[in-house]
Amino acid sequence: MWRKIMLLSFLSCLVIHNGLKAQNATISFRVNMSYQVFLENFDPSTEFVDLAGDFNGWGSELTILSDENEDNIYNITLSGFYVSQTIQFKFRQNGAWDGTEEFPGGGPNREFTVLTTQDSVDVWYNDETPPFGPPDANFTVSSTEIKTQGNVQFSDLSSGNIDYWQWVFEGGIPEISSQQNPQVFYPNSGSFDVQLIIGNVSETDTLLVADFITVIERDRTEIDWWNNTVFYEAFVRSFYDSDGDGIGDFIGFTEKLDYLNDGNPDTEDDLGIGGIWLMPINPSPSYHGYDVTNYFGINPDYGTMAEFQAFLDSAHAKGIKVIIDLVMNHSSSQHQWFIDSKNYQNNRRDFYRWSAIDPGYGGPWGQQVWHWHNSGYYYGVFWGGMPDINYGEPQVVDSMYHVAEYWLNDIGVDGFRLDAAALIYEEGENLEHVQATIQFWKDFTAHNKSIAPESFSVGEVWSNTNTVVNYVVDDGLDFCFEFDLAGTILDAVNNGYASNIYTKMSHVYNVYPHLQWGTFLTNHDMNRAMNSIGQDQDKNKLAAAIYLTLPGIPFIYYGEEIGMLGEKPDENIRRPMQWTDGYQAGFTTGNPWNSINGNYTSFNVETERTDSNSIFNRYRKMIRVRNLKPALREGDYIEAMADNGQVFSFVRATNTDTAIVVINTANGIVENMNVNLGIIRPATKDLQLA
């Protein structure tokens, strides 16, 4: 007999829009009759389904649904509703109240509140009162909404003794499959039915379950210059010291630019970096610089504005873009704005959030956020030395727009990395990811594009993919860092198992605008990659091979390419760069601001340059391959799942270039492996194994 299995409903996500109450709305009603057909409670050849509700006199005006595809899913679209209206209704058979209607005998009515101007109801007939509804049954997919040229993994969830499966995929390749968990390629946009027929050879019964998947046309015009760029995150304090004071500086950085990119595409001994992200360079009382005292100034530890400008000009001459950390959520408590704000009478009082009493709540990770001063309590999500700036004050917004204009137009940087981007606004005790913050970044991005169209902004939103994507879609930030994907890559390399990367990449690829997310392994707030993978050089190389071939915009944390070590506290993951095996690792002729890593004698630029098997040379080669292969920079991502769970394989393809990437995440040799390439692309010029 059948054992009940779980049905996951494929209802589209609904976005609530304020202020739409008076607008006309349409509702698409869909009711799945498959289980009623299976139970022989309904005969599609002779009977019909109708809708009775408080909007049509409870069926006195007959409202009949249609099943044009003959898939037992009946639908109708009705107008005349309004947003925020709540309706009651039932589906019926044959326009009758004879016990065949939903929830007979005076059972409950369905209730639905209209949330958008184009809303939908999508249910199974009688699914609220077992045993009349469908079995707790059937199948799931990784996403019910994908973009064209996409692979979808379908999975049967049956827990019973099922002997055979037959899938039917409208618009998919293959169209029919007898596999339990097939992968289907959807080349075109549209809404397509999916049917699963499962049965048991020892029983005469079979069960048909059905739903649909939506395929959206992929907008490839979203690709911009940063998609053709490999970035390098650098801490000026730790990169190279030119004057022997133990602190890195702009003159030293300029001297080392050829290491990143010498400006000559024909040479192969530089890394091939196309962009640099500089951690904070503004004046600050802290070594890290994330508490700014002057948004228009340069940290004197690093040099002068003229020296920064010379560095910037030299980088641009070599074809390197430069973005800087812009710390907008908070300032230093030593910033003049905050000093003025502590005075009740000062017109900058509202530049920060003040309260006469302690509001009493903590922060997102349980920390203290309200700090005492003799003029009241002020809000600072990180600590008392970093008070949060109040963007509810229009003068603050105008001032920060001016800061952005200064760095983009007057100085000439190419964009910003935006620290703590999720925390700009607060709504009561809701301190992150509020709608006002997301809207602020849309406005900020639009402002920057209006004055510097080629500029870009990348957000630090340290959260899950489904939360982060809200900051990027609908003309938001250009892209954000993909923290979930970074963790998944490191886990796969550590565990030697690739399945989670397939799942995560499919999700990431389909929710973001085309290729607009930042890929990385770790950054200045995380234990270094070499520590995260057990100081294993081969795993370091594997991790590099994965994220430097995946879609997205790759960011390398300085020293990652030579296997630098570093674990919390933060100072120890930001130690000086290891250039040689000599005195102070070649970073300085004096005493460095922080001690050198103990592994510098083997893991340094000079030594690794001459070792063809070094981590450095693997990074250099992978970056060069990416720079030379349009498919790896701009190509679609097409999953090509291998029959070995240790192997991660995929295709990157443009209309004129294709790359097949096959990566073994575990130790040892994989033999007799098959990779399902499926449909790659009709017009391919060549294949590249990476």
Instruction: Quote the radius of gyration of the chain (alpha carbons, Å).
Output: 29
Instruction: State whether residue 668 is helix, strand or coil.
Output: coil
- CA distance linking residue 578 with residue 570, whole number of Å: 18
Please give the full DSSP string across 588-610, using - where no structure is assigned.
-SS--SSPPPTTTTTSSHHHHHT
Tally the residues of the chain.
690
Q: At what angle do helices 483-495 and 499-511 cross, to 10 degrees?
A: 160
Instruction: State whether residue 68 is helix, strand or coil.
Output: coil
Instruction: Please confirm, yes or no, whether 611 is among the known catalytic residues.
Output: no
Q: Are 248 and 291 in contact (CB under 8 A)?
A: no
User: Tokens 């019964």 map to which residue?
Assistant: 205
Q: Which two tokens stand for residue 575?
A: 């130690």
Please give the full DSSP string across 551-570, using - where no structure is assigned.
SSEEEEETTGGGT----SSG
Alpha-carbon distances of 578 from 21, 522, 604, 615, 656, rounded to whole Å = 62, 18, 5, 13, 41
* φ, ψ for residue 362, nearest 5 deg: -100, -175
Closest CA to 593 of 605, 582, 583, 584: 584
Q: Which of 325, 419, 432, 561 is catalytic?
A: 419
599 CB contacts (<8 Å, ≥6 apart)? 563, 564, 565, 578
Give 277-337 as a 3 state SS string.
EECCCCCCCCCCCCCCCCCCCCCCCCCCHHHHHHHHHHHHHCCCEEEEEECCCECCCCCHH
H or E segment at 621? Answer: helix 615-628
Q: Are 635 and 657 in contact (CB under 8 A)?
A: yes
Q: Which two tokens stand for residue 427?
A: 């709504």
353 CB contacts (<8 Å, ≥6 apart)? 378, 379, 388, 390, 426
Distance in angstroms between the alpha carbons of the first and the last residue of the chain: 50
| Partners of 124 in the β-ladder | 32
Instruction: Please confirm, yes or no, whether 325 is among the known catalytic residues.
Output: no
Q: Which two tokens stand for residue 36?
A: 């009623």
Q: Which of 119, 211, 460, 634 is catalytic?
A: 460
Torsion of CA 535, 541, 543, 548, to 10 degrees: 150
What positions carry a catalytic annotation? 419, 460
